[in-house]
Amino acid sequence: MDFQRWASLQDYNTLALPGRAEYLCTVNGRDQLRQALAFARQRQLPVTMLGGGSNIILSGDIEGLVIRLAPTGISTIPTLASEADSDRVLVCAGGGENWHGFVTHCLEQGWHGLENLALIPGSVGAAPIQNIGAYGVELASHFHSLDAIDLVTGELLHLDAEACRFGYRDSIFKQELKGRVAILTVTLALSTAPEVCLDYPELRAALADSPAPTPRQLYDAVCALRRAKLPDPAQRPNAGSFFKNPIIGSDQAAALRKLHPGLPGYPQPGGVEKIPAAWLTERAGWKGRRVGAVGVHDRQALVLVHFGGGSGRELLGLAAAIARDVRHRFGIALELEPAVLGDPSAVREGPVGAAAEGASTAESGEHAGPGE
């Protein structure tokens, strides 16, 4: 196995931020992963998993060993005899598979449910980390189980949906198991009968001319909406939505609405409302603003972009300034969606990173911008 020393990661993150890995390797399957972990253990190196780099902010060099997973294929798992006649199919994909390629493969095989999640960048293995979601569907909606390896003990873990504790852009892998595991395979429960989820209003509008849209039409509509709305990282480096959508108490929302009559909010169970972070950042005047080598996209107030020649520290500085401003104007805390890898002090310098006391985050609505 090849361990590269001080390998540049600039081409391995969609924000194209500079940074290196002390050691970088790509592993093919479980045995190679164990070998790589043994290499790290012998040298007492911390281990970091890297997928497509589409949900990370690289803040300087990553010390220790960075591991990428090679694609290892997609297969179906025989279902129980009691389920044999049902429409359900269990599909298992290697963590190194490309997510969009996997969604497309499933559609072509007639395995449905993931169409709304088409064109989300990144790998299959990273999808459970933040329970990816878009256009009214989350990974959790179709999740069956996953196999992972504990990066410290080398123990093989098998986790079902309950054990993963999925929430809005959240899971156990962002909490107790943060940075602790390598997700090797993900198994999803899909349907051989057409399933079309049109809960998201913009998607319904896009398919208004089709009385009974097929999964293929749904997939095409999602791809078209995403291509029209979201900047392509290859042209304008970005990491998708930069902040989660905050949840605040309904009382606080009602009080805020007296000051800001247009404040959108989506009532949730438990007397709380989800507030679109894109609305907050746009109202605070950040949409389209550029600060040196970084800025806020001119059509998506939730997408921070890198114009080239900048650093993770600069980007996190901008995020902190936006969060401070939003907090000052609306009294609402914003929480970063991507993971910060590299120098953690860059986050400590800003107020972004943890939601304020009493605030949490929840699924976004139509103002969320990129459809997430």
Ligand X SMILES: Cc1cc2nc3c(=O)[nH]c(=O)nc-3n(C[C@H](O)[C@H](O)[C@H](O)COP(=O)(O)OP(=O)(O)OC[C@H]3O[C@@H](n4cnc5c(N)ncnc54)[C@H](O)[C@@H]3O)c2cc1C
Residue linked to tokens 């979201």: 230
Q: Indicate the residue among 68 and 327 with the shorter CB distance to ligand X.
A: 68
Q: Of residues 59, 171, 238, 364, which one binds ligand X by CB under 6 A?
A: 238
Do 70 and 31 contact (CB within 8 A), yes or no? no
One-character DSSP codes across 151-182: TTT--EEEEEHHHHT-BTTB-GGGTTTTTTEE
Stretch of 57-65, 129-137, 283-291, 314-322 lying at the interface with ligand X (CB under 6 A):
129-137
Q: Which is nearer to ligand X, 126 or 188 (CB)?
A: 126
One of 9, 37, 134, 332 touching ligand X (CB under 6 A): 134
SS3 content of the chain, % helix, strand, coil (to 5): 30, 30, 45
**Binds ligand X by CB under 6 A, chosen from 19, 113, 310, 370:** 370
Q: Which of residues 6-65 bind ligand X (CB under 6 A)?
A: 14, 48-56
Contacting residue, 60, 94, 240, 350, with ligand X by CB under 6 A:
240
Q: Judged by CB under 6 A, which of 95, 113, 213, 276 binds ligand X?
A: 95
Nearest residue to 232 via CA among 54, 8, 11, 18: 54
Question: Which of residues 62 and 326 has its CB atom nearest to ligand X in the complex?
Answer: 62
| Residue 221 found at the interface with ligand X (CB under 6 A) | no
Beta strands in 137-293 (DSSP E): 137-138, 143-150, 156-160, 181-191, 238-241, 246-249, 266-268, 272-274, 290-291
| Complex with ligand X: residue 56 or 333, whichever CB lies closer | 56
- Residue (252 or 343) nearer to ligand X, CB: 343
Give exposure, 258-285, as e/b (b: 16+ Cβ within 10 Å): eeeeebbbbeeeeebbbbbbbbbbbbbe
Name the residue nearer to ligand X (CB basis): 256 or 319.
319
Q: Which of 40, 74, 161, 181 binds ligand X (CB under 6 A)?
A: 181
Both tokens of 184, joined, read 């090797």
Q: Which residues pair with 59 in a beta bridge?
A: 342
Q: Does 107 bind ligand X (CB under 6 A)?
A: no
In whole angstroms, the minimum distance from the beta carbon of 119 to ligand X comes to 8
Q: Please state, in angstroms and as integers, the Cα–Cα distance from residue 261 to each residue in 30, 39, 167, 276, 283, following that order.
A: 55, 58, 29, 15, 12
Q: How many other C-beta atoms can be found within 10 angstroms of the C-beta atom of residue 309?
A: 11
Tokens of 183: 């997700």
- Shortest Cβ distance from residue 273 to ligand X (Å)? 21
Rounded to a whole number of angstroms, the minimum distance from the CB of residue 52 to ligand X is 3
Nearer to ligand X, 46 or 351 (CB): 46
User: Shortest gap between Cβ of 171 and ligand X (angstroms)?
Assistant: 10
Least Å distance between CB 372 and ligand X?
Answer: 4
DSSP 211: S
CB of 186 vs ligand X, minimal distance in Å: 9
> Largest Cα–Cα distance in the chain?
62
Please, are residues 30 and 51 in contact by the beta-carbon 8 Å criterion?
A: no
Residue pair 50/41 in contact by the 8 Å Cβ criterion: no
133 is an interface residue for ligand X by CB under 6 A: yes
**Shortest distance, position 276 Cβ to ligand X, whole Å:** 14
CB under 8 Å to 108, separation ≥6 — which residues?
Answer: none
Contact status: 182 vs ligand X (CB under 6 A): yes
Looking at 125, 213, 265, 317, which residue binds ligand X (CB under 6 A)? 125
Provide the annotated active-site residues.
169, 241, 337
DSSP for 59-71, written as a single string:
ESPEEEEEEEEPP
Q: Using the rule CB under 6 A, is 302 a contact of ligand X? A: no
Q: How far apart are the first and last CA of the chain?
A: 38
Stretch that binds ligand X, among 127-135, 153-161, 248-256, 358-366 (CB under 6 A): 127-135
- For ligand X, the binding residues (CB under 6 A) are 14, 48-56, 69, 95, 120-123, 125-127, 129-130, 132-134, 181-183, 230, 233, 238-240, 339, 370-372
